[in-house]
Structure 1
Amino acid sequence: MTLARTCPALFLAAPASGQGKTTLVAALARHHRNQGRRVRVFKTGPDFLDPMVLGRAAGTQAESLDLWMVGEADSRRKLYAAAGAADLILIEGAMGLFDGTPSGADLAQTFGVPVAVLIDAGGMGQTFGALALGLARYRSSLPFAGVIANRVAGARHAQMLAAGMPDGIPFLGALPRVEKATLPSRHLGLVQAGEIADLDGRLDAAAQVIADSALARLPDPVRFEPPAEVAVAPPPLLAGRRIAVARDAAFSFIYPENLDLLRAMGAELVEFSPLADTAVVADAIYLPGGYPELHLKRLEGNRAIKASIQGHANAGRPIYAECGGMLYLLESLLDRDGERGAMVGLLPGEGRLMPRLVGLGLESIALPGGEARGHSFHHSALKSPMTPTCTGRRRSDGQPGEPFYRLGPVRASYLHLYFPSAPEAVAALFGP
């Protein structure tokens, strides 16, 4: 009989985006890691950038949790495995606590993980308590640990906030604004961890703030039940296949679970850089999303790798491209300033960065081999004569979502797929 496991755990949420959740979770992870504890961190919902920072802070790979995209069963398996290997589990929510379907609150309640809500208290007094009361009482069945005040001006401000708290709602602490611990951001979210030269210094500064606060103690243990079913190994549909994965500053939006699945299905993975390499040799190519618009001139100027990718496609070998990877395969790409760069040219048309968000949300798509789940998040628009072979379906309202294109051996879409949601469909994307 498989027994339940217990491990201290906390779900960190907020009333909205931009409250400082990632900095707080990273600070907690780094603080407890500095104390010699094994920390496992998770991010709810679709995200690539926050997990890079969280993983760096904890010293272990951050993973995704989501009741729909990842699924309840696999999310339970991840948490159960973490409870057996860690001294602390931290989960960062997405957007606001009750935003989305399913929401972070749904996930926390499903697994019984207490919720601590971080509230930006800048410019706020007793209204902080009213907001805390609403979040705590909005869903009575939610395990609510309390609230944390962020960006507090000083000791008097912290006292005012604590004094205005309603009875029965714990005030877990007040955190000051610490500029040297701030994480920089850009149009798709945080700057990638590998691009922040002083990231470890920032994380250590944030961890010191935690060490000097009431948040330094471990949260209470949480009981994690074993999965109801044993995970089934995926079929070896990619045995003997060599897949080249683009990974550099321009292409890095990859769920680690995607690569784990490809390996589990027998593929040999090799990395290459469209920015720096001159050739790619493989049975298939995976071009994930990223920031090609920030590297137009280097991508345009690397004619050798573009010719190698063209030769790969001309030989009939598959290329699977997501979002930024798809933009790279177009004839041209324009950045926000209207600067144009010539791209690979395997797909007709041009991409253009727009001043605001163009696509956002969870989606599924019916592909040969099964229905895959994933998400859309992009600031660019595509102008192309291509006709999609199929279209995603939005989770929020069931309406048509992102188009999916097939042109010869190229398969491309704005969708970022979570590969474990449909292993056989994924194998078909990279298969002969």
Structure 2
Amino acid sequence: MSTPTASCPALFIAAPSSGQGKTTFTAALARALRNQGKVVRVFKTGPDYLDPQVLAQAAGQPVDQLDLWMAGDAYCRQRFYEAAQTADMILVEGAMGLFDGEPSSADLAARFGLPMVVVMDVKGMAQTAGALLAGLAGFRDDIRIVGLIANSCGSQRHRELIETTLPQGIPLLAAIARNPELSLPERHLGLVQADEIRDDLEVRFEKGASVIEAENLPQTLLALPPVTFTAPADVVTADLPSLAGCTIGVAKDAAFSFIYQANLDLLEQMGAQLRFFSPLTDSTLPSCDALWLPGGYPEIHAATLAANTAMHAAIRQFFADDKPILAECGGLLYCLETLTDYDDTAHTMLGLLPGHGAMRGRRGCQGMQTAALPEGPVRGHAHHRSMAEGTPEPIAHGERQRHPAPGEAIFRERGLTATYLHLFFANNPAAIALLFSGKASPARQPIDSEDETHAVK
């Protein structure tokens, strides 16, 4: 029996570094295609929560994060295969610079044969843009760059100077003029959350789409040869562990929004019922068997969180009843005794875990790690600009992807598991099922550092 395949045009949007305009361009292109009645599926490389929110609004379709280390080859292959069955075009936004990280954006593009365009901020350069593009194109022989997007282009003459020095066979697909009205608003950790500025984003998307349509870019890219995606042979959703009969309360509002859609999908595939609630505005918890307090921006809403004492009492009672709680990053800060915001004001939090959280300016921590949970290893990542002090002895630490130093602490108090790590549930569904079902093991199990990912969909 032959392996199922699906094909459609696909494009990987890369850059020589962060801050070149990848997300702005990807969102504008997705909106331009959508305005033409096309179904466009967008993916984001790496463990990013904020860019996918923006891209999902622009495309009108859900956006999944793809990472070969965190999610695994089978997961990425399955997502591409599923998208290609319904999409008129697939867009993948890279992370950081084209070759940064292990695995890098280039690794993902090469693995699936995706043609690439490079978005480059050309402010302050002209012919050098051609040299940089030549270097990127020739650095590896397993990637294919099909064009340049010259961002922040100053004039028609600026465009001509760039265009005449590009490597043979790599055209200038578009020159986007400097325009702050197209740029996406940012804050610490990345872009401002889409739900906070939806109307403003709509204006920016439409302006960006008009620029892209003026360059005839949608038609040019839709004419690219289709990419064929093959279904993975080892994805067997029927073998997922069961969470049937388990209802999970998920904190979701402006303070807690760093949630992989893939994590929600997996919990539902395992049979869990999901009930969302807001620690900012709700006074009671939904009826549930377990809680998930994900990451987000509790530091921005610390005063409101502190004032909602009814929610404090509800979660404290849930904790006292020894029910399972997973708290990640911002959720961890919420579980501490206090959280000190950027104005150096301390706010009372839940107090489920001894310790105090505080913001620390531009300094922070990020990187891929494996959470050494007693239930089993789960891959994920850390990204924060806060610190937790006075906490109890952790039961384990995250294991860094490529460094021997201990990673983020993992705490366990009664049914609470708290850590700065954001977990990618599909990496080890069995461990996640144990965590939320209340069958957590009290003893740490050793991790085989050579073990492959458990990604299934």
TM, length-normalised to structure 1: 0.97
Choose which of 216, 235, 240 in structure 2 pairs with 1:235: 240
Is residue 11–residue 93 contact of structure 1 (8 Å, CA) maintained in 2? yes
TM alignment of 1:149-168, pairs within 5 A = 149-168=150-169
Could you tell me which amino acid in structure 2 is paired with residue 348 of structure 1? P
Give the SS at the match of 2:173. strand
Give the Å deviation of 1:214: 4.2
Q: Which stretch shows the higher mean deviation, 156-165 or 297-306?
A: 156-165
Supply the distance in 1 between the matched residues of 2:234 and 2:355 (Cα, whole angstroms).
47
Is residue 76–residue 226 contact of structure 1 (8 Å, CA) maintained in 2? yes
Look up the match of 1:108: 109
Is residue 234–residue 423 contact of structure 1 (8 Å, CA) maintained in 2? no
Q: Which stretch shows the higher mean deviation, 161-170 or 280-289?
A: 161-170
Cα displacement string for residues 305-335 of structure 1 (whole angstroms, at most 9, x for unaligned residues) = 0110001101111111000001001100011
Is structure 2 residue 229 aligned with structure 1 residue 224? yes
Choose which of 291, 300, 308 in structure 1 pairs with 2:297: 291
Supply the distance in 2 between the matched residues of 1:341 and 1:233 (Cα, whole angstroms).
46
Supply the distance in 2 between the matched residues of 1:389 and 1:233 (Cα, whole angstroms).
33
Look up the match of 1:306: 312
Supply the distance in 2 between the matched residues of 1:406 and 1:3 (Cα, whole angstroms).
44
Give the Å deviation of 1:179: 2.1
Look up the match of 2:274: 269
TM alignment of 1:7-86, pairs within 5 A = 7-86=8-87
Is residue 178–residue 206 contact of structure 1 (8 Å, CA) maintained in 2? no
Is residue 391–residue 402 contact of structure 1 (8 Å, CA) maintained in 2? yes
Is structure 2 residue 228 aligned with structure 1 residue 201? no
Look up the match of 1:337: 343
Give the Å deviation of 1:178: 2.5
Look up the match of 1:367: 373
Give the SS at the match of 2:132. helix
Give the Å deviation of 1:231: 2.7
Look up the match of 2:450: none
TM, length-normalised to structure 2: 0.92
Is residue 122–residue 150 contact of structure 2 (8 Å, CA) maintained in 1? yes
Give the SS at the match of 2:181. helix
Calculate percent identity across the aligned residue pairs. 51
Is residue 234–residue 264 contact of structure 1 (8 Å, CA) maintained in 2? no
Count of residues paired in the alignment: 432
Supply the distance in 2 between the matched residues of 1:182 and 1:239 (Cα, whole angstroms).
44
TM alignment of 1:251-262, pairs within 5 A = 251-262=256-267
Give the SS at the match of 1:12. strand
Could you tell me which amino acid in structure 2 is paired with residue 213 of structure 1? E
Cα displacement string for residues 90-149 of structure 1 (whole angstroms, at most 9, x for unaligned residues) = 000000000000001000000000111111001111111111111111112212212211
Supply the distance in 2 between the matched residues of 1:39 and 1:305 (Cα, whole angstroms).
40
Is residue 31–residue 208 contact of structure 1 (8 Å, CA) maintained in 2? yes
Supply the distance in 2 between the matched residues of 1:10 and 1:345 (Cα, whole angstroms).
47
Look up the match of 1:180: 181
Supply the distance in 2 between the matched residues of 1:167 and 1:267 (Cα, whole angstroms).
54
Supply the distance in 2 between the matched residues of 1:298 and 1:128 (Cα, whole angstroms).
48
Give the Å deviation of 1:385: 3.4
Supply the distance in 1 between the matched residues of 2:380 and 2:147 (Cα, whole angstroms).
32
Supply the distance in 2 between the matched residues of 1:244 and 1:171 (Cα, whole angstroms).
49
Give the SS at the match of 1:357. coil
Q: Which stretch shows the higher mean deviation, 143-152 or 112-121?
A: 143-152
Supply the distance in 1 between the matched residues of 2:157 and 2:435 (Cα, whole angstroms).
59
Q: Which stretch shows the higher mean deviation, 156-165 or 23-32?
A: 156-165
Could you tell me which amino acid in structure 1 is paired with residue 231 of structure 2? P
| Aligned alpha-carbon RMSD (Å) | 1.3
Is structure 2 residue 280 aligned with structure 1 residue 279? no
Cα displacement string for residues 55-84 of structure 1 (whole angstroms, at most 9, x for unaligned residues) = 111111000111111111110011011111
Give the SS at the match of 1:19. coil
Supply the distance in 2 between the matched residues of 1:157 and 1:252 (Cα, whole angstroms).
41
Look up the match of 1:425: 431
Is residue 368–residue 428 contact of structure 1 (8 Å, CA) maintained in 2? no
Could you tell me which amino acid in structure 1 is paired with residue 273 of structure 2? E
Cα displacement string for residues 273-296 of structure 1 (whole angstroms, at most 9, x for unaligned residues) = 000000113211100000000001
Cα displacement string for residues 154-212 of structure 1 (whole angstroms, at most 9, x for unaligned residues) = 21111111122233332222111222222100001000000113211111111111101
Give the SS at the match of 2:129. helix
Look up the match of 2:215: 213
Q: Aligned in 2, Cα 1:238/1:4: closer, same or farther, shift over 3 Å? A: closer
Look up the match of 2:446: none
Could you tell me which amino acid in structure 1 is paired with residue 257 of structure 2? S
Is structure 2 residue 153 aligned with structure 1 residue 148? no
Give the SS at the match of 1:68. coil
